[in-house]
Amino acid sequence: MNIRVRNVIIRMIISIIVFVYISYLAWKSLDRFDFMVIMAFFAIFLGWSIIETLIYKDPDTLVIEDDDRRSYLFLQISSLLALFYALMDFIEYHYTRMGNFEPWIIYLGFLIFILNAILRYYAITTLGKYYNPRVAIYEEHSLVTVGIYKKIRHPMYLSALLNVLAIALIFSSWGALVIMLFAVLPAVIYRINIEEEVLLTHLGSDYRQYLDNSKKMIPGIW
């Protein structure tokens, strides 16, 4: 078992424990619809975690440079903060719950989550052996500019934003949207700047040309 698969399994076990506990709280305090929202989200989340583990490909060569600068940590912490706040607000506190827009805002959240999973699936499978959660350069590193990467350079980070947006809508929390705006988005931009700097240093003119012919996350706009 490689390190990444082991880490994913550990993360899934921890997630299941947390979800079981939250489900217990939800079962005691929520009405039927809200409880079903929690259960549906957990099922989709765990299902996607399994799919992502299955489609992962081990790299053919070793990493020669890792210049992450804690950007992955910042992105994970900010995203988990949004998730934790949205869950607690939905289950217990209701400080920033958008009740006037329910249930349609919740349905929209699930739709965005599914679209995000599709986007992430194509991004990961297109990267193949070059998919790495960290900013890393391999011994034989080639620039991927096909498929979804032909028009946008960072579909994975677009996916990260869509994921938090979906969570905020599923749990009807404008507070989570604020966290996304002021914590997750800056973490994504920080990560993008680091990655583009590293790739420009190592791939030179090829990456410069790619920068000129593509957008960061939104085709034709940015």
User: Closest Cα partner for 83 from 16, 165, 9, 14?
Assistant: 165
109 band by pLDDT with thresholds 50, 70 and 90: very high
The pLDDT value given to residue 167: 96
Say which DSSP state 99 is in: G
Report, as an integer, the average pLDDT of 10-22. 75
Taking only Cα atoms into account, the Rg of the chain, rounded to an integer number of angstroms, comes to 19
Among left, alpha and beta (phi > 0; psi -120 to 50; other), residue 55 is alpha
Whether 132 shows a pLDDT value over 90: the answer reads no
User: Closest Cα partner for 203 from 141, 154, 114, 149?
Assistant: 141
Report the amino acid identity of residue 68: D
Cα–Cα distance measured from residue 149 to residue 147, given in angstroms and rounded to the nearest whole number: 5
The pLDDT value given to residue 7: 65
Report, as an integer, the average pLDDT of 76-80. 92
| Tens digit of each residue's pLDDT (9 = 90 or more) over 17-59 | 877 777 777 777 788 899 899 889 988 988 888 888 888 887 7
> Which fold, 61-212?
Four Helix Bundle (Hemerythrin (Met), subunit A) (1.20.120)
153 band by pLDDT with thresholds 50, 70 and 90: very high
Coil/strand/helix, residue 134: coil
> Does the reported pTM lie above 0.95?
no
The pLDDT value given to residue 139: 79
Residue 27 in contact with residue 35, Cβ under 8 Å? yes
Cα–Cα distance measured from residue 146 to residue 17, given in angstroms and rounded to the nearest whole number: 39
Stretch among 11-20, 30-39, 185-194 having the lowest mean pLDDT: 11-20
Stretch among 140-144, 172-176, 191-195 having the lowest mean pLDDT: 140-144
Coil/strand/helix, residue 63: strand
Coil/strand/helix, residue 18: helix
